[in-house]
Amino acid sequence: MPDRHGTDAAQGAAAGPGSAAPAPRIEFTFRWWGPQDPVPLAAFGQVPNVDTVVTSLGEVPVGEPWSAAAIAERQDVCAAAGLEWTVVESVGVHEAIKLAAPERDRYIDAYAVTLERLGAAGVRTVCYNFMPVFDWMRTDFDYRLPDGSRVTSYSQSDLDAIDLSRGLPRLPAWPQAYTAAELGALFERYAGVSDEEFLARYRYFVERVVPVAEGAGVRLAVHPDDPPWRLFGLPRIAKTAADLAALLACSDSPAHGLTFCTGSLGARGDADLPAMARRFAGRTHFVHLRNVRRRGPRDFHEVDHTRGAGDVDLVEVMAALLEGGFAGPLRPDHGRMIWGEEGVPGYGLYDRSLGLMYLQGVHDALTREGAGS
Ligand code: DNO
C-alpha cells in the first residue's frame, strides 16, 4: 500500500525467498520542542523520508513521573501530523540523583515509572544526560556568521566573565533559571565531588533504571557533556572516548547505550570522531549530527552540516557509523537560523532540513541505497 510519501512499503521491503524481516536501517528524524515550538510539527513530514519525530514532555517538572495519559496525548498529536513519536529527548534526571541526596531513590523510582509507561506506549528510545546543574551551555545564542546566518557559540573567556552573583537566566532546553542563591547552594553541594565520585553516582542510577528499561523494551541513550569539559569546577564524566567507555561499562545491557553527538564531542580538538563512531556504533541507540568550527581550545561556534564548513567531517562519521553497523534513529542537530527564521536557537526548520537532506545524500552515496528504501 502506498504510504503518505506515495511510495510502496511492500516494494521497499522486497522480501525475497528465504529473507526474513527487512534489515534494520537508519531512521532519519527531527526534534520537535512540543506545542510551543514555532516549527509546525507537520512540516517535518514534508521532508523526504521522515516518518518519525523526537520530542519530550518538557512541561512536566523534572522528577515527576509522566502519566500514561500525557504520553498518549503527545502520541496522538504526533500521529495527527502523520508522524510516529519514537524517541524521547529527554527524560531529565533529577538533581537529587546527581547529588546522591537522601531522596534520590524516590526520584529513581519515578524515572523508572516513566520508562515503564513509555515502553508500554511503544516509545522505545530515551535520550538523557548526566551533567550536573546545567543542560547544554553556550555564551552566545545569536552569533552572526559572515553570510548573515545565526548560530550558537561558546567562548571560555566569555564564560569566565559571567558574574554568577547575578544568577543565570533560563537558556534553551534548561528546565529553569537560577538565582544567585540557588547557584551558590548547588555549587556548594558539588564542592569537592570528583569525576570518580560522580561516575559512581551515575552507576548507582544506571544499575537501577537499566533493568527497568530492559523489561519495558526501552533503550536508554546517554548524551555527552556539551561542551565536553568542566564548567565552573563541576564534575563532568561524558567528555571523551575514555569517558564514554567508562559510562558504558556501568552495564552491559543492550538497553544501556549512547546518544552519539558529534557537535558535543567534536568541540574538543583531541576527539577522533570517526574512530569513536566506529568503536561505539554497536552501543549507539541515537545519533545527533552537528558540525562545529573550533576557534581555539574551549572556543567554538556552530556551522552548517556540510564537509568543510567546520571541523567535524560528517561524511567520515556517517561512513564509520555504517561500518560499525549502526541502525536506529538519527537526527540533524543544531542548524543555523537562516532566511529570517526565528525559533529555538539551533532548532529552526530550514537549515536542519538542508542538513538532513545532505546527510541522506551522504548515506545514499555510501550505501548505494535510498534513505527511504
Ligand atoms: C541541545 C541538546 C541537549 C540534549 C540534552 C540531552 O540542543 O543537544 O539539550 O537534548 O542534553 O539530554
For the CA of 334, the closest atom of ligand 1 is 7
Is the pLDDT confidence value at 274 over 90?
yes
Cβ of 273 closer than 6 Å to ligand 1, yes or no, is no
The answer to whether residue 4 sits within a structural domain is no
Is the pLDDT confidence value at 206 over 80?
yes
Q: In what order do the strands lie in the sheet with 125-129?
A: 26-28, 328-332, 284-289, 256-261, 219-223, 125-129, 84-89, 52-55, 30-31
Q: What is the pLDDT of residues 41-78, one digit of tens each?
A: 999 999 999 999 999 999 999 999 999 999 999 999 99
Cell 506506549 locates to 121
User: In 253-298, where do the E strands start and end?
Assistant: 256-261, 284-289, 291-296
- In the chain, alpha helices (H): 9-13, 41-45, 68-80, 95-98, 104-121, 156-160, 180-190, 195-216, 241-248, 262-265, 273-280, 314-323, 350-367
Our mutation pick for probing the ligand 1 site, out of 136, 288, 334, counting the most ligand atoms within 8 A of Cβ, is: 136
The answer to whether residue 16 sits within a structural domain is no
Give me the CATH number covering residue 326. Answer: 3.20.20.150
More reliable by pLDDT, 18 or 35: 35
The answer to whether residue 317 sits within a structural domain is yes
| Nearest Cα residue to 220 out of 331, 75, 88, 321 | 88
What would the mean pLDDT of 157-163 be, rounded to a whole number? Answer: 96
Is the pLDDT confidence value at 10 over 50?
no
Residue with CA closest to ligand 1 atom 2:
136
Torsion angle of alpha carbons 87, 71, 122, 130, nearest 10°? Answer: 40
* Distance separating alpha carbons of residues 198 and 96, to the nearest angstrom: 12
- Separation of CA 239 and ligand 1 centre (Å): 14
The answer to whether residue 18 sits within a structural domain is no
- Cβ pair 185, 230 in contact under 8 A: no
Handedness of CA 184, 186, 189, 191 (dihedral sign): negative
* Distance separating alpha carbons of residues 154 and 266, to the nearest angstrom: 13
Query: Would you give the DSSP letter of residue 336?
Result: P
Given this model, what pLDDT does residue 17 score? 46
pLDDT cut 90: percent of the chain above it: 91
Our mutation pick for probing the ligand 1 site, out of 30, 31, 135, 153, counting the most ligand atoms within 8 A of Cβ, is: 135
Catalytic sites, residue numbers: 223, 261, 288, 333-334, 347
Is the pLDDT confidence value at 105 over 70?
yes
The answer to whether residue 162 sits within a structural domain is yes
- Separation of CA 20 and ligand 1 centre (Å): 36
What would the mean pLDDT of 292-296 be, rounded to a whole number? Answer: 97
What backbone torsions phi and psi does residue 296 show, to the nearest 5 degrees? 170, 180
For the CA of 90, the closest atom of ligand 1 is 12
The answer to whether residue 12 sits within a structural domain is no
The answer to whether residue 17 sits within a structural domain is no
Q: The domain containing residue 119 runs over which residues? A: 27-365
Cβ of 302 closer than 6 Å to ligand 1, yes or no, is no
Q: What is the pLDDT of residues 330-358, one digit of tens each?
A: 999 999 999 999 999 999 999 999 999 99
Q: How many domains does the chain have?
A: 1
Given this model, what pLDDT does residue 173 score? 80
Is the pLDDT confidence value at 11 over 50?
no
* Distance separating alpha carbons of residues 15 and 305, to the nearest angstrom: 35
Given this model, what pLDDT does residue 4 score? 47
- Cβ pair 339, 294 in contact under 8 A: no
The answer to whether residue 282 sits within a structural domain is yes
Confidence class for position 23, pLDDT limits 50, 70, 90: low
Is the pLDDT confidence value at 161 over 60?
yes
Between the alpha carbon of residue 229 and those of residues 83, 205, 224, 264, 300, the distances in Å are 36, 22, 10, 10, 13
What backbone torsions phi and psi does residue 162 show, to the nearest 5 degrees? -65, 130
